[in-house]
Amino acid sequence: MSAPIPPPLTRTPGSGSSARPRVSTTARGDRGARTGLRVATTAGVWGENARRLFRRAAAAVMPAGWLVLAAASLGLGSGVAFGWVEWLVAGFASLVMLALCVPFLFGARAYDVVVRLAHERVVAGGEVSGEIVIRNRGRSSALPGRLDLPVGDGLIELGVPLLRAGHVVAQPLTIPAARRGIIEVGPPTAVRVDPIGLLRREHAWDDIRLVFVHPRTIPVPSTSAGLVRDLEGQPTRRLVDADMSFHAIREYAPGDARRQIHWKSTAKTGQLMVRQFEESRRSRMAVVLGLAETEFADADEFELAVSAAASLGVQAVRDGRDLDVVTGAEIPRVVRGRLRAIRDISAASPRSLLDGFCRIDSLEHTMSLSAVCALTAETKNDLSIAVIVCGSRVPPPTLRRA
């Protein structure tokens, strides 16, 4: 007889008891790792919050505040260590002084500030009017404070009175625009300072406005220079006998071409009638402005050149010409002589053209006027006329070569 074969799924008690501790140990290890990771994450978050709070507190302390804080620490420490009553009193007084200054910092974030400008474009020599509206959005009254508004390189300080919840106050603004350029207005910043000058707190809003100060321009008489007759060009006011743009019908005159006779109108009127057209012309104009500092006598002469170029460009846009306004571009010193670069100013409209002139300035490292003209001629090969604007230090032979 053969021996009985044990069932294949039979498990001895020893194997089961030995497996349980292994599984239990693994589960405890996973729980311990997760707990340690959670504790480390929480500690990291608390540490980051503590560092952020310390940075904010340190930023609010002015130099005089650090001096008072040092006096408080030194006085309390020396008084406790050596039993000096005078030092204890001085340290305690310094600490109380700092504590009394803290309430003056509250309320910097309780405002809604909006900067409103009457217009964002002005001619050099004018001014821009506007106002800054301040509203208390909190549920309690906001203490008086100060609002700083950067305007270009300057700063306007506005006093904010005591504002109850929901109340609004408007402060008028007048921004002078003496010179051409772009004036950056903002961002407004609420400033809280205690009366002693120990603590200071600031809160800035993301409200920045740009004021474009356009160069002065004058009306320039229209001219037919540079106009080339082209059937694919733009219609003009000049009337001709043959072209693409129909204008009107008139009576026949001796010398008119018979092919222009309008037979339908002739049949209606009983006399010969001919067609009349508007002459189509094409003109692509370039205004080239040099920006090299060495080509101008002073800053006023450069501004005069910019005004002249802007006046010519605006009149060309109003006349319907295809216009290219070209200036020199900044070239790094390390590649000067090996790199050529010019800059185009958008001439889609008079406004965009004048906005582009607000952004240019004289350059130290740029191409000479003759090089700018040569590169313009290479890249703009369909020009019919070019106007060159330069400074008084450019010699006449250079202008003739350009």
CB 107, CB 164: distance < 8 Å:
no
Q: What are phi and psi of 391, to 5 degrees?
A: -90, 175
Q: Are strands 121-123 and 189-193 parallel, antiparallel or unpaired?
A: unpaired
Q: Check whether residue 288 and residue 350 sit in a common domain.
A: yes
User: Whose structure tokens read 């003056």?
Assistant: 104
Q: Check whether residue 101 and residue 183 sit in a common domain.
A: no
Q: Are strands 284-289 and 385-389 parallel, antiparallel or unpaired?
A: parallel
Output the pLDDT for position 18.
44
User: What letters, b where the CB count within 10 A reaches 16 and e where it falls short, cover 23-61?
Assistant: eeeeeeeeeeeeeeeeeeeeeeeeeeeeeeeeeeeeebb
Domain boundary (214, 243, 268) is at 214
Q: What angle, 0 to 180 degrees and rounded to 10, lies between the N-to-C axes of helices 350-358 and 299-318? A: 160
Output the pLDDT for position 313.
95
Q: What are phi and psi of 340, to 5 degrees?
A: -120, 135
Residue 276 lies in a domain: yes
Cα 388 to the center of its chain, rounded Å = 30
Q: Check whether residue 184 and residue 277 sit in a common domain.
A: no
Residue 249 lies in a domain: yes
Q: How far apart are CA 110 and CA 139, in angstroms?
A: 9
Helix (H, G, I), strand (E, B) or coil at 353: helix
Q: How far apart are CA 249 and CA 45, in angstroms?
A: 86
Residue type, 24: S
Q: How far apart are CA 184 and CA 358, in angstroms?
A: 13
Q: How far apart are CA 394 and CA 125, in angstroms?
A: 28
Domain boundary (49, 79, 105) is at 105
Q: Check whether residue 139 and residue 77 sit in a common domain.
A: no
Q: How far apart are CA 162 and CA 143, in angstroms?
A: 5
Residue 147 lies in a domain: yes
Output the pLDDT for position 185.
94
Domain that holds residue 125: 111-214
Long-range interactions of 30-33: CB distance < 8 A, separation 24+: none
Q: Check whether residue 91 and residue 140 sit in a common domain.
A: no
Q: Which two tokens stand for residue 59?
A: 């930023």
pLDDT 10s digits, 126-145: 999 999 999 998 888 887 88
Q: Check whether residue 303 and residue 391 sit in a common domain.
A: yes
CB 341, CB 332: distance < 8 Å:
no
Q: Check whether residue 313 and residue 396 sit in a common domain.
A: yes
Q: Check whether residue 96 and residue 116 sit in a common domain.
A: no
- Domain with residue 190: its CATH number is 2.60.40.10
Residue 179 lies in a domain: yes
Domain boundary (180, 214, 248) is at 214
Output the pLDDT for position 196.
85
Q: How far lies 97's CA from each of 53, 173, 201, in Å?
A: 21, 37, 17
Q: Check whether residue 166 and residue 93 sit in a common domain.
A: no
The closest of 340, 61, 311 to 201, measured between CA atoms, is 61
Mean pLDDT by 10 residues, the chain (402 residues): 46 44 49 60 66 67 84 86 86 88 76 92 94 89 86 90 90 93 93 84 88 95 64 63 74 84 86 81 85 94 96 91 92 79 93 96 91 90 87 87 74
Per the structure, how many domains does the chain have?
4
Q: Check whether residue 121 and residue 208 sit in a common domain.
A: yes
CB 172, CB 149: distance < 8 Å:
no
Q: What are phi and psi of 38, to 5 degrees?
A: -65, -40
Q: What are phi and psi of 332, to 5 degrees?
A: -60, 150
Q: Which residues pair with 134 in a beta bridge?
A: 113, 169
Residue 8 lies in a domain: no
Q: Check whether residue 118 and residue 186 sit in a common domain.
A: yes
Residue 45 lies in a domain: no
Q: Check whether residue 189 and residue 266 sit in a common domain.
A: no
pLDDT 10s digits, 167-185: 999 999 999 999 999 999 9
Output the pLDDT for position 284.
83
Residue 320 lies in a domain: yes
Residue 172 lies in a domain: yes
pTM for the whole thing?
Answer: 0.70
